[in-house]
Each structure stands twice: as structure tokens, then as C-alpha cells.
Structure 1
Amino acid sequence: MVVETNRYGNTEYRNGKIFRSAVMDGFELLLATWHFSDNDDPSLENDRLRKLSPLIRNLVQKYQDVYIPDQKLCIDETIVPFRGRLRFRQYMKNKKLKFGIKAYKLCCDGGYMYNLQVYCGSDCVQGGQASANVVFSLMAGLFSSGRQLYTDNYYTSVSLATELLDKTTHLIGTLTSNRKYNPKEVVQKKLKAKEVFAQENEAGIVVLMLSTVHKDDLKQVKQRGGKTDKPEVVVDYNQAKTFIDILDQIKSYSHCLLRGTKWYRKLAIKFLLGSEVVNAHLVYKEVTNDKISMTEV
């Protein structure tokens, strides 16, 4: 029998097979006792996220303590893969990862995640429209400052835009044609190529791309085939939606989400070694003016 030990003395090779060392046994012991909340805390008794709520609150508090968002913000959702039994597990047929836990995130320019919220089931949603509740929850503390919020058609509605205007906050996003209060003249309009038709109500809301900021102005952009004119609202919307894409791209460089049976551990790893690392990386670059890449961290 051949036995080899590396210079750290924590890996053994016996007849070509790797045996777990004391270091790995210690790691698995820590993993088995890895918890984020007090099981005896009465305030968490009816909380479906009680296994993770203290960690999420702490992370969000840290995110917001060290960063002041710019004018433009973007809201979108993400899916953490999970196929086990869980009351609020989601099935999304249009996603590559169809089963998982859905989390909403509010991101700033550059990919910094400022706030997050985990979806716990429709019966946990308070009165009112569920998508609007997500917006007001994630934007808490950021109203009355003239910020611009970019959303997709799940969140965007004329009624939400009106409510946000009352809070001195603008809404820009794609809009589903059958949403309530949509003007029929715009929804039913037949457009030709490169034609733009816009309508604005007395509150300054423009649809079918909904915006409380833009008019029907065009903006020249460069494409592979040359320069072309696009509605300014579309150009700005596409730019703001990259906030989420940048976050997901940077996270993919340090991906470490492994298979497991505990849903709260998967979420914890997703937040701690995903969004938390990205946020720390972005803050470090901003403070030190060091252009270090994510792969060098």
C-alpha cells in the first residue's frame, strides 16, 4: 500500500484513492451545525424564513450602510435552484432552472445589490397588488429624492407609476398591453417600421413603454448595421436593465452553489459567496480606485 501526504499533511492517497482527512471531517462538522438563527426566538415563530431571516436582515443593513444609490435603480428577480420539498418553491417554465426559490433584488449602476427580498408564497402577500408591494418594500427609504426606477412588465403599471409620482419617484419599464388603465389608443395602434406613437396623461405618464420621465423623443444609437434612431425611453431602459446582468455576470466568476438538501443553506451560500462578495468587490474598487478584477480577488 502506498501512502502519500502533501506538504500540509491533510490529504492521503492510498492505492490511488483519496481518503478524507481530519481537516475535511472538521469542515463537515461545522457544516452540519451551520445555523443563522435562534430556534427558540419567539419573534420568528410564524416566519417562513426563520432559518435565514436574521442573516438577510444583517446583510441588507450592511449593504445600505456603506452605499448611497445613484439616480437610476433596477428591480428584477432571481431563482436559486432547489428541487426539494418546500412550501414556497417556485416553478417557472420559461426559465432554464425551472424549480427554485425566488428572490427579488434592487440593484444600482455597476451591479451593486442594495436590497433583496425572498418570496415566501402568495398567502404571505399583504393587501394590494403583489408586484407593487415588492416595489415599495425594496424601495423603502429611497423615495422623495427624484430617483428613477426601471422594471419589467411584471411590476410596471399605470397605477404604480401614479403612486410613485406621489413619492417623487419615476417609473420606467415595459408594459403588458392588458394592464388596467392602459389607453386603448396606444394599445390598439398598428405601427409601421420605426414608427413611434406615444400618449401622455395629465400626470406625465407615457405608455406602452411606460415612463414618467421621457417623452416620445428619439435617440441615435450605433448598431452593427450602422446608426439608427430609437426611442430614448427604450435606450435608457436597456441600459438600466444591465445593472442586473452585470451583477449576475460578476457572480458567475466565483460560483460555488453546490448540491444540498437544506434550502436555507443554499440561499445563504448564494447571498454570502455571491452578492456579498460582488458588493464588497465593488465597494473596494470605489474606495481604493483599484481596478482589480473579480477573478483576482
Structure 2
Amino acid sequence: MSKNRFFHIMGYMHFSNNKSPKASTDRAWKIRPVVDVLQRTFARGYRVPPVISFDEATLPSRSRYNPTRQFNKDKPHKWGTKVFVAACAKTAYCMIIEVYCGAKAHLRTPIAKDNNSGEAAVLRNVNALCPPSPTSPWRLVITDRFYTSVKLALELLHRRVYLTGTIQTDRSGYAKNVITKKKTRTVNKQNVMVPPQGTTKFAENKQFPQLTAVMWMDRLPVHMLSTGGSRRSSTVMRRVHGEMKAVPAPELVRDYHRWMGGVDVHDQLRMQRYSVQLAYKTRKYYKTLFRGLFDMALVNAFIVHRYYRKVNNKRPPKHFAFLETLMEQLLAIDSVEAFATIEVTSYKCAGANSGVSSERWIYAAT
């Protein structure tokens, strides 16, 4: 297929009817059918794991006509559509996605008591993944400070789901006696940093003993909330004066460092040099978002294939090799048939006595 024909077909690519009544109420209506299909496909392709990492991802888009565009200074791409992602904490497989369309998009969801809280998004997606049942197995959800709250921890505990995550100290109901007023460590008269790195404070809820508030001193104080997390002493590896050293920490802190990066790993695979979304630009914002969702599907396919190879004691492929094989299968060609035989022509150069060969590639598919 030629480049001009490809862009000609892309000009007529649409996913939804603009005259639908929902087009005026749903900000993500342009890509809603694609999101719905991916929701069903992702759920069928993977079993819900025991540990779930919940975080947000960004589909880069700087278009002013994108009604779902958000600004996030902490992301590599500052402008884009925010997507809530629940991923497997071990393999980084994306199990469910939710396009953020504004605070008023979910009017039926009970309003959170904490202002600017994302706990409603966690509840919606956890209920979709693990419907409440008295016989369902216990699971663990890892969140960051934007989502964690006392109310969310108790709601998930009633659904047989544990929670571990960092928390903002101004959350309603959080233990005040573990909050440290010092934002940084200081040097005492003996030229020693106080409090020492690895210092830990615990606070247990009287009504719910499984609910634990933690202050763990890293380079800066880290406040956490956990239900069912172990308080036994352990260690985590931290860089101190340019060297990796073991720092004392409770096991729940180690679990957080171990399992929190599921969504981040998925984003790293999606935003690498093989990204379809970043390969070229289009004027229509919804086509850019579609390619971002397509990248998420490609990453999930790569994760499943890599896991399958590991289970069967086979060498897992590299990311590029997997995409190359997938491209050949979609084109229904073999790697040998991807290009025709190189045509070699010989000619005499001016002022030279010997023949010089000139190689010219002839593409099999045009």
C-alpha cells in the first residue's frame, strides 16, 4: 500500500456517529466504541491477578479541539488524555481502562468526602474487575497518594480487597500522631542526620485493627496507609552517597516498592521508539487517541506472548522482534517474502578499471 493511499483511507476513518444524542454528553464519544471493545478484549485475555496496580496514564495529545485534554506536569508528555489504568502488578498487563472525562461524568457515583480524591475511580474499576462476592479470593490493590484514603481502604476491605499505598497527610481520618512536622532530615551536633533513614512509626485503628498508618523516613518522610500489610521488619535497597545500601523498612513498604510500578512499566513499553501513536501526526485528535489505544493493545499482546513463552520454558522475544513478527502475520507473508531478491547491476565508473556493483532494493509489497 502506498503512502498516499494509506492517508486517503485514514481520512475516512470514524468510530462513532456524530449525530447520536450521547455525542453531546460524552466527551470521549469519538473513541467510545474503541474503548468498549478494548475493555471486553482485555478482560477476556487475562485472569484477575492477586496484586493489582492502579494508576493513571496519559495518551499524548496537544490538540485544542480534544475535549478530554488534561495537563499533568509529572508526565513525560504534559498534555494529553488522562486514562485510569488497572494493571497486573507482576506483568504490567493492562486489564481495564477508563478515559477521564471530568468530575461530572459519573453522576451516579457517590461523591467522595475528601476533596480532589480519585477513590471513586478505584472503586468503579475494582468492582468491574472483582465483583463483590463473599466467596471471592482476597486481593491487594496498590495505589499512590492521589487515590489512597481511609474511606477507600474500608470500602475495599468490605469487598475482600486489601489496600496499600502512599497517602496525603490531610486526608480525612488519617492518624495525626504519625505525621511528622519536619519535611527534611537535619544534622545534629554530632554531624549525624536525624531522624536516621529507616525510622518507622505505626498507628493502628482501634475499630479496624487491620487498618495501619505508617510514617517511614526515607530521604524525605513517606506516609502510607495499609490494610492487612505486614509490619515485620525488612530492608529495601536505597542509594546512599552514591552506593546501594540496605535500609530498614517494614514489609508493607517493601511490597509497595515491589508492586507499584505495573502501570509505569506498561507506559514505558507503550511510549518506546516503537509507538504507533508517536510515529506521525494527524490533524484529527481522535485518530491520535485511537493510535494510543492501539499501542496499549500491542503492549498487552506482547506481555501475554512473553508470559506464554516463559511458562513453556522458551526464550521470550524482544519487543522489536515481537512487533516484526506480528507485522508479518498481519500482512500474511513470511520474513523471507518481505523483500524480493536484491537486483545487482554492474557498471564502469569513470576513471576506474574495475566494475563496481550497485545494489538496489526492490520492495515486494507496494
2:164 to 172, 181, 199: 172
Pair 1:181-2:173 in alignment? yes
- 1:102: which partner in 2? 82
1:255 to 248, 272, 275: 275
1:197 to 201, 221, 230: 201
Pair 1:243-2:262 in alignment? yes
- 2:149: which partner in 1? 157
Structure of greater Rg: 2
* C-alpha separation in 2, matches of 1:105 and 1:253: 22
Q: State the TM-score, normalizing by the size of structure 1.
A: 0.85
Q: State the TM-score, normalizing by the size of structure 2.
A: 0.70
Deviations 1:268-288 (A, max 9, x none): 10111x210111112223334
1:93 to 57, 69, 73: 73
Of stretches 145-154 and 179-188 in structure 1, the one that deviates more from structure 2 is 179-188
* C-alpha separation in 1, matches of 2:289 and 2:121: 19
Give the deviation of 1:249 after TM superposition.
Answer: 2.3
- Is the 2:57–2:263 contact (alpha carbons within 8 Å) kept by the matching residues of 1? no
Q: What is the 5 A alignment of 1:127-166?
A: 127-129=110-112, 131-139=118-126, 140-142=128-130, 143=132, 144-166=136-158
Give the deviation of 1:216 after TM superposition.
Answer: 2.5
RMSD across aligned C-alpha pairs, in angstroms?
2.1
Deviations 1:130-150 (A, max 9, x none): 512210222113154311000
Pair 1:25-2:17 in alignment? no
- Is the 2:57–2:267 contact (alpha carbons within 8 Å) kept by the matching residues of 1? no
- 2:37: which partner in 1? 58
Aligned residues: 275
* C-alpha separation in 2, matches of 1:295 and 1:119: 31
The sequence identity of aligned pairs, in percent, is: 28
- Is the 2:28–2:68 contact (alpha carbons within 8 Å) kept by the matching residues of 1? no
Give the deviation of 1:66 after TM superposition.
Answer: 1.7
1:206 to 202, 212, 221: 212
In structure 1, runs of 5+ residues without a counterpart are 1-21
- 1:18: which partner in 2? none
* C-alpha separation in 1, matches of 2:171 and 2:307: 41
Deviations 1:72-104 (A, max 9, x none): 001111122222223332122343422221111
Give the deviation of 1:26 after TM superposition.
Answer: 1.1
- 1:217: which partner in 2? 232
- Compared CA separation, residues 94 and 292, structure 1 to 2 (3 A): closer
- Compared CA separation, residues 286 and 93, structure 1 to 2 (3 A): closer
- Is the 2:61–2:289 contact (alpha carbons within 8 Å) kept by the matching residues of 1? no
